Amino acid sequence: MKKSTTALIIMALTLLISGCTGSAAIRPVANQDVAAAYGNITLPDQVVTRVMLYKVGEIYAPPFKSPPSSHTYMNGNFFFENLEPGKYFLVGFMSGQNIFYFNYSGLSEEAFIDEVAVDIKPGAVAYLGSYEVTGIDRNFFRSDTFEIKPVKQPGRNTILEHLKEAAAGTGWDQRLAQQIK
């Protein structure tokens, strides 16, 4: 009896502690001009732990200047809040300690801006897409490879509904609700 009570207490503490280590809380809307971006990336048998987004023309050199930080969820949904308006592009994503960078080589600067970069307007909430990653080939001596393709599920509204709940009371919940069709 004593062992099962101790086990229950340890399990309860573990659940409490693990609940506190999730994604940082979504920050409130800083002002009317800031924007947001969201989407979904899923991997087979793995969880995306971070999505990387860069602003075109910005040079990031942490700790002096860092790229926007993502809120990334177990279901693959991701959200960036309080973005300055401008053109942005997905750089890659992480799953645990593994980093996967998108390969944009072969595109001219003009083609990259036209085909890859997303123009995020002041006050906008931009959908970056839903993607599925397959064919991961981890290599020690050369770059890792993978395939990423756009998918229809989860759709925009499914992602928005989840993020609206996650952003409750921040002002982003209202902007996200306006995007639901």
The count of structural domains within the chain is 1
Q: How far apart are CA 81 and CA 60, in angstroms?
A: 18
CA distances for 165 relative to 3, 35, 72, 87, 171, angstroms: 39, 18, 14, 27, 11
| Lowest mean pLDDT segment, chosen from 60-64, 98-102, 139-143, 175-179 | 139-143
Residue 9 sits in which domain range?
Answer: 2-179
Q: What pLDDT score does 181 carry?
A: 84
Q: State the CB neighbour count (10 A cutoff) for residue 133.
A: 19
CATH number of residue 36's parent domain: 2.60.40.10
For residues 158-166, give the mean pLDDT. 97
Burial of 112 (0-12, 13-18, 19+ CB in 10 A): middle
Task: Find the length of the chain.
Answer: 181
**pLDDT, tens digit, 9 for 90 and up, residues 26-68:** 999 999 999 999 999 999 888 999 999 999 999 999 889 999 9
- For residue 23, pLDDT over 80 is answered with no
Nearest-5° Cα angle at 53, 144 to 159: 100
More confident residue, 151 or 22: 151
Taking the model in full, what pTM does it have?
0.81
